Structure 1
């Protein structure tokens, strides 16, 4: 799956990009018709510790899913967002099967 990583106002290190690619590749076992995915990283300018935001946008034929999570680390935010996307993809797959 093609994964585009975007960081808003800062540079992402290769370790994080590799982590994101590996985590997104796991999503293909839940729904194999994913066209592409975009992952956006943002830093919230507030005083709270949970200021790292990961937003995942996944495109499947005929639909698009967007999940946004805010945590203490980007890895944790990606993990939570990917878990939510997994559930959405499983629901989508069951819905497609029901109509076939």
Structure 2
């Protein structure tokens, strides 16, 4: 399991990386065909106070790469929603792989 972090306009945070790794570990354990995760953190000026902290995660697995992104008022909320979306995509990918 390899996790690469990229910060765009955001300072690096060990606690945020630990939280993200904890969330991604469940995906890596449940879907052993996932090889690597690239995690992107960035901020964006928005008119809403409930968005602006963006987390994007790209997973390397057999077939096309999987990607999800979420924007909330905290990075932790963005990470949680992104991981939930990736879990849905991985479930579909695993079901497709079973049919072959």
Q: TM-score range by the shorter chain?
A: over 0.9
Counting matched residue pairs gives 99
The equivalent of 2:65 in structure 1 is 64
Between 36-45 and 26-35, the greater mean CA deviation after superposition = 26-35
Q: Any unmatched runs of 5+ in structure 2?
A: none
Q: What SS class does the counterpart of residue 89 from structure 2 fall into?
A: helix
Root mean square deviation of aligned Cα: 1.1
Give TM-score, length-normalised by structure 1.
0.92
Give TM-score, length-normalised by structure 2.
0.92
| TM superposition outliers: structure 1 runs of 4+ over 6 Å | none
Q: Any unmatched runs of 5+ in structure 1?
A: none
Contact 1:30 1:86 in 2 (8 A): no
The equivalent of 1:82 in structure 2 is 83
CA distances 1:25-66 after superposition (whole Å, capped 9, x unpaired) = 110233111110111011002342111011010010222011
Is 2:12 aligned against 1:9?
no
